């Protein structure tokens, strides 16, 4: 099974529209880099995206480095 890597924009907008679950319906598994997690969860306390991502963590969203991050010097 493949997974999709997401930045913060679709997470933010779909959470604001109350359509966050579309990501799971379309892609199944979603990976977010630690920087995205920090942006939407740690610094996103005032926004709906924080609760949406927290509730999906460990179920269909995982925080992980992207594969190309391992290739950087």
User: What residue ranges do the domains of the chain occupy?
Assistant: 4-63
pTM of this structure: 0.84
Q: Per-residue pLDDT tens, the chain, 73 aa: give them.
A: 567 899 999 999 999 999 999 999 999 999 999 999 999 999 988 899 999 999 999 999 999 987 665 555 5
Query: What pLDDT is attached to residue 65?
Result: 86
Distances (CA, A) of 47 to 6, 15, 44, 67: 18, 9, 5, 29
Query: What pLDDT is attached to residue 3?
Result: 76
Query: What pLDDT is attached to residue 68?
Result: 67
Query: What pLDDT is attached to residue 72?
Result: 55
């Amino acid at each position: 099974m493949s997974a999709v890597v997401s930045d913060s924009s679709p997470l933010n907008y779909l959470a604001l529209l109350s359509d966050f679950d579309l990501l799971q319906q379309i892609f199944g598994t979603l990976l977010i880099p630690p920087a995205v997690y920090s942006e939407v969860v740690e610094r996103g306390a005032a926004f709906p995206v924080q609760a949406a991502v927290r509730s999906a963590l460990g179920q269909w969203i995982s925080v992980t480095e992207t594969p190309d991050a391992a290739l950087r010097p």
